[in-house]
Amino acid sequence: MRKNITVSATLATVAACALLAVVAAASGGGAGVQNTNSSTTQGNMNGNTGTSSGSMKMKMTADQKFAMEAAMGGMAEVEMGRVAAQKGASAEVRQFGQQMVDDHTKANAELMQIAESKGMTLPTALDAKHQMMMQKMSALSAEKFDKEYVKMQVKDHKKMAALFQKEANSGMDAELKAFASRTLPTVQEHLQMAQRMHDKMSMRGGGMSNMNNNSGGMSGNMNSNASNMNSNMGNMNSNMNSNMNRNSNSNMGNMNSNKNSNMNSNMNSNVNSNPPA
C-alpha cells in the first residue's frame, strides 16, 4: 500500500514539472512573437515616417520654393551689405551696402512673418555656399572688394528680380504673391543702382587705359620729333660747314688771284714806265 502511494506521488510530481515546462515554453514563445511583432511594427513605422518625409520634400510647392530662395538671398544681401558698409573703398559702395542691410532686413522680417503664419520653416543662417563667398570677399583689399562686390550685386539682383517677377506673375499663394509684388520694385531699384556703379567703374578703368595709351603715343611722337630735330640740326650744321668751306676756299682763291694779278700788273707797269738808259 505504501509503495503504491509513493509511486503515485512521484508520478504527480513528474506531471507537475512537465506542466510547468510547457507553460514556461508557451510564455517564452509568446514573448518572442510579441518582440517580433513589435520590431515589425516599429520598422513599418520608421519606413512610413521616411516615406512621409520624402513625400513632404517632393511636394514642396513653387510658392514654398520661392520663400526659401528669397529668404536665403535676403540674408546673404544683409550680411554682405554689412561687410561693404565697413570695408568698401568708395563712399558710394559703403552707402549702397548700408542700404542693402536696411532694405533686405525689412523684407526678410515681412517674409518670415508670412511664413510663420503658414507653418513654414525658413532658413535662419547662411548655407555653406554663401559662407564661403563671405570669407572670400572679406579677404580682399578694399579696392578689389569694391570691384568684385559691385559685379556680384549686378548678377545676384538680376537673379532675385527674375525670382520675384515670376512669383508676382504666377504665384498661387495670395500672401506670398502680394509680398513679391510689393518687394519687386525695391529689388529692381537695387539692380539699377548696382549697374550704374558697375558702368562707372568700367568707364574709369577704360579711361585710365586710354590715358596710358595716349601717354605712350605722345612720348613716342615727342621722341620722334626730337630725333627729327636732331637730324635737321645735323643737316644744318653740315650745310653751314660745307657752305663756309666753299665760300672760304672761293674767297681765298679770289684773293690769291687778285693778289697775283695786281702784282703782275704793277710789275709790268713799272718796267714800261722806266726805259733803259
Task: Let me know if residue 189 belongs to a domain.
Answer: yes
C-alpha cell at 184: 519687386
The predicted-structure confidence for 201-213, as pLDDT tens digits, reads as follows: 999 876 555 555 5
List of residues 6+ apart from 176 with CB closer than 8 A: 63, 66, 67, 114, 167
Per the structure, the count of domains in the chain is: 1
Q: Is the pLDDT of residue 164 over 90?
A: yes
- 175 belongs to a structural domain: yes
pLDDT higher for 252 or 77? Answer: 77
Place of cell 726805259: 275
Q: 129 in a domain, yes or no?
A: yes
Domain that holds residue 107: 63-212
Q: Is residue 102 scored above 70 in pLDDT?
A: yes
Indicate whether 191 belongs to any domain: yes
- Within a domain: residue 111? yes
Q: Quick check: helix, strand or coil at residue 69?
A: helix
Single out the residue of 53, 166, 163, 67 nearest to residue 115, CA to CA. 67
Domain assignment of residue 199, yes or no: yes
pLDDT on residue 36? 47
For residue 99, pLDDT beyond 60: yes
Supply the CATH number for residue 196's domain. Answer: 1.20.1260.10
Q: Return the number of other C-beta atoms located less than 10 Å from residue 204's C-beta.
A: 10
Is 37 within the bounds of a domain?
Answer: no
Average pLDDT in the chain: 75
* Angle between helix 91-117 and 174-273 (nearest 10): 170
**Average pLDDT over every residue of 103-107:** 98
Nearest-angstrom CA–CA distance, 243 and 234: 14
Distance CA 33, CA 65 (A): 46
Phi first, then psi: what are they for 121, rounded to 5°? -105, 115
Give me the pLDDT at residue 277, please. Answer: 41
Using alpha carbons, select from 71, 146, 79, 153 the residue that is nearest to residue 109: 71
| Residue 54 Cα distances to 49, 67, 154, angstroms | 9, 20, 36
pLDDT over 90 at 66, yes or no: yes
Residue 87 lies in a domain: yes
